[in-house]
A = this chain, B = another copy of it.
Amino acid sequence: MDTYALVKNKAVAAKQAAGQMALLSTTIKNQGLLQMAQALRAQSEIILTANARDMEQAVAKGMKSSMLDRLKLTPERIEGMAVGLEQVANLPDPVGVVVDGKRLPNGLNITKVKVPLGVIGIIYEARPNVTADAAGLCLKSGNAVLLKGGSEALHSNAAIAGVLARAAEAAGLPVGAIQFIDTTDRQAVDALIHLNGLVDVVIPRGGAGLIKAVVMHATVPVIETGAGVCHTYVDASADVEMASRIAYNAKVQRPSVCNAMETLLVHQDIADKFLPLMLNRFLAAGVEIRGDERVQAYSQQVVPATEEDWSTEYGDLRLSVKVVASLEEAMEHIARYSTGHSECIVTEDYSQAQKFQLGINAAAVYVNASTRFTDGNEFGFGAEIGISTQKLHARGPMALPELTTTKYLINGSGQVRG
C-alpha cells in the first residue's frame, strides 16, 4: 500500500472511533487510561527491547548524545509515562462541561457545551514518551488520536502505541482510537496534513523546522506550538537582586526548553549597577553572551551580537543582551523579534508594569517572575499537550479543555422563525 493510502486508512479508522469516543462516559475513559498505565508497566520489556533497536540504529548513524538521551527509554521513564496516564485519569473530564446557556424570549433553550474535537493528529520528533502523553490527553478529552512520531523512534513508538491500543480496547474504548502511523516515509506527514474532513486538527511538536513546514503546507487546521524567543526586560526601577535571580533562572535552569530566555534587555539607567555582576554570573555558569556595543563594554568575553542573534531560539547556554534607552525601545524590540511565547518585565514601577502587560503581544506576559513558569503543570492544568504560540483556538499552555470544541444544543417546542 502506498503511504498516502496507509495514512488515509488510519484516519478513516480514527474518525470512526472518534464517533464512539465522543459518547463514552468519563468512567470508561478513566478505566482505559488506568489500564493503559498498567500495561506500560507490565509490558515494559517489549518497549525496552524495541527502544534498544532504535538506540542501536541511532548510535550507528552517529546521533549526538543530547538526541540519544531524548530517545532512550529506561524503566524509570516508562514508569513516568504510566504515572502521567494515571494523572490524566484524575483530571476533570472537559467533555460535557456547559460553557454558556440561556433561554431566549421565544422560549428556545440554548446550551453551549464542550464536545471532543474528533481526530487529533500529533506530529512529533525524538521523545517516545510523547506517544503515551498525547494518547492519554486525546483519549481523556474524548478524541481519537493519529500519532506520527520521528523515524528514529519508530520501534519504540510502535511498541508503546501497540501496548496502549490493546489495553484501551480491552478496557472498552473503541477499536482504532489510538492510531500509530508506522512508516518512516516522509510522505506520511504530507498525507496527514491534507486529510480535510478526516483530521480535525494537527498539532506539530518539535523543532522550528517541523512546525513551520506543517503550518505552511497543511490544509487541515493546525495549532502552532513551541517556538520561544523569550525576553526579560530589566527596567530602570528594577530590584537588582530580583532581576538577577529571575534572569539567571530564565536562562540557566533549563536552557533547552521553549520558555527559557533568549534575550535580556536592560534599561540604560540600571545597566552600570546590574550588568557587570549579571554578566559575571552568566559567564561563570558557562553562558555565552552576545551583546550590542554597550554590553560589550562591560566585558571582553562578550561576543558581538548579529542581527540574526536577536531572532534566534538558541535552546542552549547562549544569550543575547542589549541595553535600551526606554521601556518603549524594549517593547519595540520585543514586538520585532518575539515569537509571542513568554515575555517578562522586572520592575518596581506600577505604570511601567501596566504598560508592558497591556502592550506586549504574547501568550504569557510576566511581571517579576521567570518566564520558565509558562507550562501546563506550573499553571495548575495538570497536563500539557503543547504551548500554543498562535492566537486562534488556544494561546499558551494547552491542556484538556483546549482539546475540545463546543456545540450549541437548542431545545424548543415547535418554534419557527418569523
Q: Which residues of A contact B (CB under 8 A)?
A: 19, 22-23, 102, 104, 108, 110, 115, 117-118, 196, 200-201, 215-216, 219, 221, 223, 239, 242, 245-246, 248-250, 253-254, 335, 353, 357-359, 361-370, 372-374, 378-380, 390-393, 395-396, 405-417
Inter-chain CA distance A216–B246, complex, in Å, is 44
- The answer to whether A410 and B361 touch across the interface, beta carbons within 8 angstroms, is no
Inter-chain CA distance A196–B391, complex, in Å, is 12
- The answer to whether B378 and A405 touch across the interface, beta carbons within 8 angstroms, is no
Residues of B within 8 A of A249 (CB): 416-417
User: Which of these, B19, B200, B413, contacts A391 with CB under 8 Å?
Assistant: B200
Residues of B within 8 A of A253 (CB): 416-417
Inter-chain CA distance A415–B410, complex, in Å, is 47
- The answer to whether B361 and A239 touch across the interface, beta carbons within 8 angstroms, is no
- The answer to whether A407 and B416 touch across the interface, beta carbons within 8 angstroms, is no
Inter-chain CA distance A245–B415, complex, in Å, is 9
Residue of B nearest to A103 (CB): B380
- The answer to whether A201 and B391 touch across the interface, beta carbons within 8 angstroms, is yes
- The answer to whether B392 and A408 touch across the interface, beta carbons within 8 angstroms, is no
Shortest distance from the beta carbon of A34 to any chain B beta carbon, whole Å: 25
- The answer to whether B414 and A378 touch across the interface, beta carbons within 8 angstroms, is no
User: Which of these, B19, B104, B242, B395, contacts A414 with CB under 8 Å?
Assistant: B242
- The answer to whether B201 and A410 touch across the interface, beta carbons within 8 angstroms, is no
Residues of B within 8 A of A335 (CB): 19
Known: A370-B415, A370-B416, A395-B405. 18 other contacts (CB 8 A): A19-B361, A118-B361, A215-B219, A246-B414, A253-B417, A361-B407, A364-B410, A365-B410, A366-B410, A367-B411, A368-B412, A370-B417, A372-B416, A373-B415, A373-B417, A391-B405, A392-B405, A395-B408
